[in-house]
C-alpha cells in the first residue's frame, strides 16, 4: 500500500508552523531516507503517518485509509513506528512480553503472534534475552528491543526515527541488516537519519527537508551529490561522496565498493 | 600541568558484578581536547561521569584509586563544589533539561541562578552562550517543544554558560544534523584553544580526527590506546573490537592491499585521503 501525502501543513498548538505544505507519494516496498537539519519537520512529518499527529490542512493516506478517519490504534495495523528514544516506548517486565505486546494488541492469534515474536527477536539478535528486563539492558540493546517490538507487528510500513543515534559500529551494522531483511520482504521502510554515510549505503531514495518543506526528493545518487543544496539544510554529503568528488570521480560514490571500483579506473 | 589526574581508578556500579572502569590512568593537560572512543558498553560514559564527579558522588558504587580535577580530590569533595570547575552535558538531553523552566533562556540561566550569579551578569552570559551555539532564535521557545538536536544544543549551552574549567561531553552531537555537528566541534575546538579542557565521548570519527588533540580508546573498561588522532584512530590495537573507523581509513586499508594506497600512514580526514589517493 502506498503513502499519499497531499498539501500537508501542520502547526503545533504553540503556533510553531512545522510543516508548510508538502506533497509526497511513497510506493509500497520503497526504502526512503529522510534527512535535513534539526527542526526541519522530519519527526513531525512521520508522526502524521500513523495518526499521532493530524494535519492542520491537507491529507495523509495510507493505502485507502485517511489518517483523519481512523484511530492511531487502527493505523498501527499498517504503520509501525520506532521512536528515536527507546525509553519512550518500552514498558514491559521482560523482552519477550515487550515484543509480544504489539502483535497481541493487533489481534493476531496466539500461534501467529508467537511466530512473529520469534522472528523479530531473531532478526534483532535478541533471542537469548527474552527473560531480561529491557531496563537491565544497555541503551544499545534497548534500541534493538524497540526495533523488535515494532517489527513483530508485521506492518506493511515501518518507520525508524534516527535508528543509529548513539550506536556503535557493530549495532549500526545490525540495524542495517534489519532494514535489508525488511526490504527483501517487500516492506516499505521510512527512516529519519543524520548519519549520511548510513543513508548512502542503505537507501535508494532520499528526501531532504528544510523548514517544513521538501527541498530535494530523488534517488540517492542524485540527491547526495547535490552538496550546495544539501548545505542549505545543514547536511554534508557522505564521506566517500566527498572524497570521490575531490578526486574527480564521475558520478556519486556511495559506498566502499563503488569507491574502490572508481579508483581502479 | 595536568588538570585531570586519574590514578589506578577502578569503579563498580552498585549491584553489578563487573567493574565498569579497570585500573584507569589518565592525565589531561589544561586546554587539551581529548576524544574518548569505544564500542557501546566500553566505559565511555562512566569515564565522563568520573571526571564530572557523578561517579561516585551521585551513582555511589565502589571506587578505588584517586581522581583529581583542578587540584581537588574527588574523595574529599562534594558534587556542588565539583560542578563549579567541571560541567557535564549528558548523552540524552532529556535527562538534563530541568523541567522547571518555561523557556530556553530560563533553562540556560538555571545553573547560574543556582550559584548566585547577579542578574546583570547573568543575562549577558546567557545571551553570549546562546550566540556561541547558534540557538539565539530559540530563546523564547519551551525546551520541550524543540527537536532532539535543538534540545541537545540547549543542554550543551546550559553547561557552557557556567564557564567550567573542564568541559565533559557525553556524545553531545548524537542527535544533531551533520553540519551542526561540525559547527559544534568547531566551537569546542575554539574553547579548548582559549584554555578550556575538554573530554568528549564520541562515535563520530571524522570530526574527532579533524578537531581533537588526542584520542583515548576504551575497551571493556580499560584504556587500550592513547595518542594523536591519526595514530590512535588507525591503530591495529583497535581492530576486531567493534570500534568505528572513518570510511577514509577503511577504503585506504583495502586499497593498500592492492597497492593503490602507497603511504605508510592511513588517512583519518578527507584532506589526508585526498592527498594519499591523488597520485593514483
3 state DSSP class of A255: coil
Q: Are A38 and B145 in contact (CB under 8 A)?
A: no
Residue B80 pLDDT > 90? no
Residue B148: band (very low, low, confident or very high) from pLDDT cuts 50, 70, 90: confident
d(CA A235, CA A237): 6
pLDDT tens figures, B151-194: 999 999 999 999 999 999 999 999 999 999 999 999 999 999 99
- Cα separation, B48 vs B40, in Å, equals 14
Share of chain B above pLDDT 70, in %: 100
**Does residue B279 carry a pLDDT above 80?**
no
At residue A30, what are phi and psi to the nearest 5 degrees? -75, 155
With an 8 Å Cβ cutoff, is B260 touching chain A? yes
Say which residues have a Cβ less than 8 Å from residue B166's Cβ, sequence separation at least 6: B3, B4, B51, B69, B70, B85, B86, B87, B196, B197, B198, B199
Task: For residue B186, give the H/E element and its range.
Answer: helix B178-193
Which chain B residues are closer than 8 Å to A256 by Cβ?
A: 247, 250-251, 254
pLDDT at A140 (0 to 100): 86
- A206 closest CA partner among A183, A216, A195, A180: A216
Confidence class for position B20, pLDDT limits 50, 70, 90:
very high
| Closest chain A C-alpha to B269 CA, distance in angstroms | 9
Residue B163 burial class via C-beta count within 10 angstroms: exposed 0-12, middle 13-18, buried 19 and up: middle
Asked if the Cβ–Cβ distance from B145 to A12 is below 8 Å, we say: yes
- Give Cα separations from B196 to B75, B81, B217 (angstroms): 23, 18, 21
How is residue A203 written as a grid cell?
Answer: 537507501
Beta bridge partners of B274: none
B171 SS3 class:
coil
Beta bridge partners of A59: A6
Is B15 near chain A, with CB under 8 Å? no
Give the residue on A whose Cα is nearest the Cα of B41.
A138
Residue A109 CA: distances (Å) to CA of A103, A112, A116, A127: 9, 5, 11, 21
Q: Chain A contacts of B203, Cβ < 8 Å?
A: 166-169
CA distances in angstroms from A235 to A199, A255, B170, B172, listed in the order given: 12, 18, 22, 18
B245: chain A residues, CB-CB within 8 Å: 169
For residue B56, cis peptide bond before it (omega within 30 degrees of 0): yes
* Residue spans of chain A under pLDDT 70: none
Q: What is the pLDDT of residue A166?
A: 86
Distance from the A44 Cα atom to the nearest Cα atom in chain B, whole angstroms: 9
3-state secondary structure B117-135: CCHHHHHHHHHHHHHHHCC
In a mutagenesis test of the B interface, which of A168, A170, A212 is the best target, namely the one with the most B β-carbons within 10 Å?
Answer: A168
Model ipTM value: 0.90
Dist. CA B232–CA B213, nearest whole Å? 11
Q: Do B133 and B156 contact (CB within 8 A), yes or no?
A: yes
Length of chain B: 280
- Interface touch B245/A166, C-beta < 8 Å: no
Whose cell is 543515534? That residue is A165
- Of the candidates B180, B203, B247, the beta carbon closest to that of A38 is on B180
Q: With beta carbons under 8 A apart, name residues in chain B contacting A233.
A: 177
pLDDT one-digit tens code per residue, B194-205 = 999 999 999 999
Q: How far apart are the first and last CA of chain A?
A: 42
Query: What pLDDT does residue A265 have?
Result: 73
DSSP B219-256: ETTEEEEEE-HHHHHT-GGGTTTT----HHHHHHHHHH
Confidence of residue B131 (pLDDT cuts 50, 70, 90): very high
Which among B147, B247, B260 has CB closest to A43? B147
Q: Give residue B277's pLDDT.
A: 95
Chain A interface with B: residues with Cβ < 8 Å: 12, 14, 16, 36-39, 43, 84-85, 138-140, 162, 165-172, 194, 196-197, 231, 233-236, 238-240, 242-243, 246-247, 256, 259-260, 263-264
Do the Cβ atoms of B202 and B233 come closer than 8 Å? no
Contact (Cβ atoms closer than 8 angstroms) between residue B176 and residue B149? yes
- The verdict on B169 touching A (C-beta cutoff 8 Å) is no
Q: Tell me the whole-structure pTM to 2 decimals.
A: 0.93
By C-alpha distance, the chain B residue nearest A194 is: B177
With CB atoms and an 8 Å threshold, state whether A239 touches B255.
no
Span A133-183, pLDDT tens digits? 998 888 889 999 999 999 999 999 999 999 999 899 999 999 999 999 999
Secondary structure of residue A185 in the 3-state scheme: coil
Residue B35 backbone phi and psi in degrees, to 5 = -95, 135
Please report the pLDDT score of residue A264 as a whole number.
83
| pLDDT band with cut points at 50, 70 and 90 for residue B5 | very high
Render pLDDT for B30-77 as a digit per residue (tens, 0 to 9): 999 999 999 988 999 999 999 999 999 999 999 999 999 999 999 999
Cell numbers of A76, please? 498501527
Amino acid at each position: 500500500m502506498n503513502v499519499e501525502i497531499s498539501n500537508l501543513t501542520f502547526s503545533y498548538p504553540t503556533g510553531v508552523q512545522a510543516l508548510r505544505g508538502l506533497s509526497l507519494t511513497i510506493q509500497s516496498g520503497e526504502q526512503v531516507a529522510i534527512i535535513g537539519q534539526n527542526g526541519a519537520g522530519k519527526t513531525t512529518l512521520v508522526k502524521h503517518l500513523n495518526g499521532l499527529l493530524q494535519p492542520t490542512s491537507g491529507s495523509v493516506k495510507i493505502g485507502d485509509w485517511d489518517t483523519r478517519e481512523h484511530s492511531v490504534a487502527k493505523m498501527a495495523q499498517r504503520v509501525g513506528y520506532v521512536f528515536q528514544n527507546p525509553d519512550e516506548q518500552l514498558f514491559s517486565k521482560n523482552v519477550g512480553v515487550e515484543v509480544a505486546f504489539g502483535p497481541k494488541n493487533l489481534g493476531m492469534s496466539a500461534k501467529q503472534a508467537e511466530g512473529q515474536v520469534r522472528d523479530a527477536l531473531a532478526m534483532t539478535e535478541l533471542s537469548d534475552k527474552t527473560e531480561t528486563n529491557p531496563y537491565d539492558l544497555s541503551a544499545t540493546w534497548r534500541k534493538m528491543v524497540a526495533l523488535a517490538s515494532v517489527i513483530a507487528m508485521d506492518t506493511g510500513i515501518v518507520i525508524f526515527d534516527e535508528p543509529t543515534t548513539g550506536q556503535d559500529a557493530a549495532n549500526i551494522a545490525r540495524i542495517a541488516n534489519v532494514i535489508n531483511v525488511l526490504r527483501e520482504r517487500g516492506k516499505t521502510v521510512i527512516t529519519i537519519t543524520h548519519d549520511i554515510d548510513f543513508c548512502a549505503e542503505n537507501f535508494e531514495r532520499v528526501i531532504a527537508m528544510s523548514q517544513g518543506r521538501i527541498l530535494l526528493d530523488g534517488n540517492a545518487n542524485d540527491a547526495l551529490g547535490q552538496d550546495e543544496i544539501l548545505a542549505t539544510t545543514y547536511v554534508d554529503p557522505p564521506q566517500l561522496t566527498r572524497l570521490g568528488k575531490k578526486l574527480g570521480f564521475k558520478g556519486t560514490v556511495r559506498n566502499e565498493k563503488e569507491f574502490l571500483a572508481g579508483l581502479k579506473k | 600541568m595536568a588538570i585531570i589526574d586519574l590514578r589506578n581508578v577502578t569503579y563498580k556500579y552498585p549491584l553489578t558484578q563487573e567493574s565498569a572502569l579497570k585500573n584507569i590512568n589518565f592525565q589531561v593537560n589544561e586546554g587539551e581536547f581529548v576524544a574518548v572512543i569505544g564500542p557501546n558498553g566500553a566505559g565511555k560514559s562512566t569515564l565522563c561521569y568520573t571526571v564530572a564527579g557523578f561517579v561516585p558522588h551521585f551513582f555511589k558504587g565502589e571506587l578505588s584509586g584517586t581522581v583529581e580535577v583542578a587540584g581537588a580530590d574527588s574523595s574529599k569533595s562534594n558534587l556542588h563544589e565539583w560542578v563549579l570547575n567541571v560541567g557535564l552535558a549528558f548523552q540524552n538531553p532529556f535527562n538534563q533539561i530541568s523541567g522547571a523552566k518555561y523557556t530556553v533562556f530560563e533553562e540556560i540561566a538555571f545553573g547560574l541562578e543556582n550559584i548566585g550569579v547577579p542578574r546583570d551578569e547573568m543575562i549577558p552570559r546567557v545571551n553570549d552562550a546562546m550566540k556561541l551555539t547558534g540557538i539565539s532564535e530559540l530563546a523564547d521557545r519551551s525546551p520541550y517543544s524543540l527537536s532532539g538536536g535543538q534540545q541537545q544544543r540547549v543542554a550543551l549551552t546550559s553547561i557552557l554558560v557556567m564557564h567550567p574549567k573542564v568541559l565533559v561531553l557525553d556524545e553531545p552531537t548524537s542527535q544533531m544534523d551533520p553540519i551542526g555537528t561540525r559547527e559544534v566541534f568547531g566551537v569546542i575546538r575554539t574553547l579548548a584553544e582559549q584554555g578550556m579542557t575538554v573530554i568528549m565521548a564520541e562515535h563520530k570519527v571524522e570530526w574527532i580526527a579533524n578537531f581533537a588533540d588526542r584520542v583515548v580508546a576504551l575497551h571493556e573498561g580499560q584504556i587500550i590506546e592513547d595518542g594523536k588522532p591519526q595514530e590512535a584512530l588507525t591503530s591495529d590495537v583497535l581492530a576486531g573490537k567493534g570500534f568505528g573507523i572513518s570510511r577514509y581509513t577503511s577504503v585506504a586499508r583495502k586499497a593498500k592491499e592492492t597497492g593503490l594506497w602507497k603511504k605508510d600512514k592511513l588517512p583519518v580526514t578527507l584532506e589526508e585521503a585526498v592527498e594519499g589517493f591523488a597520485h593514483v
